Amino acid sequence: MRKLLFIVLVKLYVLPVNAVNVTIIESQSGNWWAVQDTVWRYIARGIGCNASIVPQNALDNISNLNNTDVLIVSSATISFANANYLQTVQQFISSGRSAYIQSEYLNTFQGNITFQAIVQALGSDFNWGQTISGQVAIKII
C-alpha cells in the first residue's frame, strides 16, 4: 500500500501543471499613480497564476488573447483608444473565458460603459442608475 501511495504521489508531482494565464490591461497611461495593474499582477502571481501586464493595444484583436484564461481591464477611467477594444472584450467573454472589468463611481467612465455594453450584448437589460454620495447605484430592469 505504501508503495502504491508513493507511486501516485510521484506521478502527481511530476505531472505538468498548467497555471492560469492572466492578462492585465495596463492602468497607468491615464494617471501615473493608478497602479491597479501592478496590484492585480501581484495578487495573481501570489495565487500561482502566470500574470502579465500588457498595453491597451492588446485589445486590437482577439488573437492577441489566445493564451489568456482571465482578462482583467484594470482601469475604469482610461478611455479605449480604439473602437474595437470593446468588441474584443465582448468576443473574449463570449468565448467562455472570464473577465474582470473595473468600474467606478461615474457611469461615463469607460469601465462602466464597457460593462453595460457587454451585459446588454449578452441579452440582459442593464443600466447604471445614478450617483449617490459618490457611489454608483445599479438599476436592473
Domain layout of the chain by residue ranges: 20-140
Mean pLDDT in residue range 35-44: 94
CB 65 within 8 A of CB 21: no
User: Over the stretch 9-32, which tens digit does the pLDDT of each residue have?
Assistant: 444 454 445 789 999 999 988 778
Cell of 60: 486590437
Residue 134: other Cβ atoms inside 10 A: 8
Place of cell 495573481: 44
Per-residue pLDDT tens for 51-103? 999 999 999 999 999 999 999 999 988 888 887 999 999 999 999 999 999 98
**106 band by pLDDT with thresholds 50, 70 and 90:** confident
CB 102 within 8 A of CB 112: no
Q: What is the pLDDT of residue 42?
A: 95
Q: What pLDDT score does 139 carry?
A: 55
pTM of the model: 0.78
Give the CATH H-level superfamily of domain 20-140.
Answer: Response regulator (3.40.50.2300)
Count other Cβ atoms within 10 Å, centred on residue 37: 23
97: Cβ contacts below 8 Å, ≥ 6 apart? 68, 69, 70, 71
Tell me: pLDDT of 37 over 80.
yes
Q: What phi and psi values does residue 21 have, to the nearest 5 degrees? A: -95, 115
Give the chain's length. Answer: 141
